Amino acid sequence: MDKGQLTEALKKAKDISNKKNFKQSVDLIINLKGIDLKKTEHQVNLFVPITHIGDKKVKVCALVGPELLSQAKDICDGAISVDDFVKYSDKKKIKKLANEFDFFIAQATIMPKVAAAFGRVFGPKGKMPSPKAGCVVPPNANLNPLYERLQKTIRVITKNDPIIQCSVGKEDMKDEEIIDNILTIYNALIRALPNEIHNIKSIFLKLTMGKPVKIGEEAAEEKEKKTVKKKGMEKKIPEEEKKETKEPKEEAKKPIKNKIQ
């Protein structure tokens, strides 16, 4: 995958998508092959820092004890005290919470209570506070640097199927910025896969409400056209010429007698 292919695919994805009254996201879809998700080493769960975020807002909720509650309310988009966990006994309410936020921060000292209250929903959705992302913090943590870092973090994860899907920007961002984000995510994924590039089956780009465009498809179609055109230009040998080639004329068959002067 190179920048030329990405540029072509991104342009086509924008061209075939009808204009909406909201800024659509640009989504990256990567189909994997040779992956057994039952094996822990084949599961993908990455937190990739990107450079270009545009006006994208990443919503963060903190699940904390009294030590961090005041700070969490000031900094994060949502804060739930351990004393209020009991209010989330309804599974539907937990699902709504999981869909509302992109990341969850948890205070390390209450993680068992976080798991007991939210794990049954957060786990399958990949929303449990992750130590890999630095989202499990001590009671004396400064939440502001973590919150700012999460604003520039993309979650790259496989769930039930060997497929990656994540947002890489907004349609009003510069193409170069979106492409840079895609390459950053792609390179991070390649390093994490057991057989690297050989585990990539196909890659697509699409806008939120648009149709997916396969990256590299334009180049493949162009190559096929050139091959067909080249075949069409091949010179056809007339049947008469073929016959002459196979069966020399009678005169040519007679031996040539050398005349001695």
Q: Tell me: the pLDDT tens digits for 35-46?
A: 999 998 999 999
> What is the pLDDT, as a whole number, of residue 250?
46
Question: Is residue 245's pLDDT more than 50?
Answer: no
Sign of CA dihedral 34, 102, 63, 86: negative
CATH 3.40.50.2300 applies to domain 58-150: no
Sequence ranges of the domains in the chain: 1-54+154-218, 58-150
**Strand positions, DSSP E, 103-260:** 103-107, 136-137, 153-157, 163-170, 200-207, 213-214
The one-letter amino acid code at 22 reads F
Do 79 and 61 touch, CB atoms closer than 8 A?
yes
Residues sharing a CB contact under 8 Å with residue 206, sequence separation 6 or more, in sequence order = 13, 17, 26, 27, 29, 212, 213
Q: Pull the structure tokens for residue 118.
A: 């939210």
Question: Is residue 142's pLDDT more than 50?
Answer: yes
Higher pLDDT, 65 or 40: 65
Do 51 and 35 touch, CB atoms closer than 8 A?
no
Q: Pull the structure tokens for residue 214.
A: 């396969």
Minimum mean pLDDT range among 71-75, 81-85, 202-206, 255-259: 255-259
Residues sharing a CB contact under 8 Å with residue 180, sequence separation 6 or more, in sequence order = 50, 51, 52
Question: What homologous superfamily does CATH list for 1-54+154-218?
Answer: Ribosomal protein L1/L10, rRNA-binding domain (3.30.190.20)
